[in-house]
């Protein structure tokens, strides 16, 4: 079920783990942004939720109310076909259990503008850059790396990316970043896990 507030379509859902996904969303109208910025995603309160979510008492009076949350954009600025988002499931949250229930072709709300000052605009040209993130906090850095690399070319700036997670399987984009670091001498990628117990 869609509403007049829906202005975007989910075109691809990539599951990294049952609690970690990548969503590629095509807005009806382009949403210009600078790498590092965020926009808003939204779904109706009445939208389906995944089974893994914590129980929620449904309030019919809120059925058509739009639940909105801000998410960093992980796609590069050169990608014009969709916006990409890297999202973890918060079982007690209001929106992520609904986002995780989305299927390809489903409609949702996307903010019509991006905002935020966490960008590289104030970083001097040629400056070495250290990017440190845990979990889905990697998203804005992915956008920066992708934009600096401009569609699979090597960034001119030296970058070091430190990405931490509990387990190796929680390191979304690990393969992409390892391949990029092998291809590009200017990029160094260091994955870090905090709970190595049980890793083979």
The 10s digit of each residue's pLDDT in 8-17 is: 999 999 999 9
How high is the pLDDT of residue 4? 64
> Predicted confidence band at 196 (pLDDT cuts at 50, 70, 90)?
confident
Instruction: Output Rg (C-alpha) for the chain, integer angstroms.
Output: 18
Average pLDDT of span 31-43: 97
Query: Across the strands, what pairs with 24?
Result: 12, 84
42 token code pair = 């939204």
Q: Which residues, 6 or more positions from 124, have their beta carbon under 8 angstroms from its beta carbon?
A: none
Give the Cβ contact number of residue 102 at 10 Å. 20
pLDDT reported for residue 5: 86
Q: Which of 3-7, 103-107, 169-173 has the lowest mean pLDDT?
A: 3-7
**Interior CA angle at 22 toward 17 and 28, to 5°?**
150
CB 177 within 8 A of CB 163: yes
The CATH class given to the 129-193 domain equals: alpha beta
* DSSP characters over 31-44: ----TT-EEEEEEE
Backbone phi and psi for residue 170, each to the nearest 5 degrees, phi listed first:
-90, 0
Average pLDDT, the chain: 91
Q: What is the pTM of this model?
A: 0.92
CATH number for the domain whose boundaries are 8-110: 2.40.30.10
* In the chain, where the domains are located: 8-110, 129-193
Element (H, E) at 110: strand 107-110
Q: Are 38 and 73 in contact (CB under 8 A)?
A: yes
CA distance 165 to 192: 6
């Amino acid at each position: 079920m869609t509403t007049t507030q829906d202005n975007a379509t989910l075109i691809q859902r990539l599951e990294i783990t049952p609690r970690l996904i990548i969503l590629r969303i095509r807005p009806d109208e382009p949403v210009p942004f600078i790498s590092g910025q965020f926009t808003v995603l939204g779904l109706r309160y009445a939208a389906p939720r995944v089974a893994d979510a914590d129980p929620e008492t449904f309030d019919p009076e809120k059925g058509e109310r739009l639940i909105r949350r801000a998410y960093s954009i992980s796609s590069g600025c050169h990608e014009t076909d969709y916006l990409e988002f890297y999202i973890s499931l918060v079982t007690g949250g209001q929106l992520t259990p609904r986002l995780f229930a989305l299927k390809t072709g489903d409609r949702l709300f996307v903010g019509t503008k991006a905002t935020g000052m966490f960008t590289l605009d104030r970083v001097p040209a040629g400056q070495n850059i250290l990017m440190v993130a845990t979990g889905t906090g990697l998203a804005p850095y992915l956008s920066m790396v992708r934009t600096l690399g401009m569609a699979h070319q090597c960034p001119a700036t030296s970058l070091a990316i430190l990405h931490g997670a509990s387990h190796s399987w929680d390191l979304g984009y690990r393969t992409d970043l390892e391949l990029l670091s092998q291809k590009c001498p200017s990029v160094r990628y260091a994955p870090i896990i905090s709970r190595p117990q049980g890793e083979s």
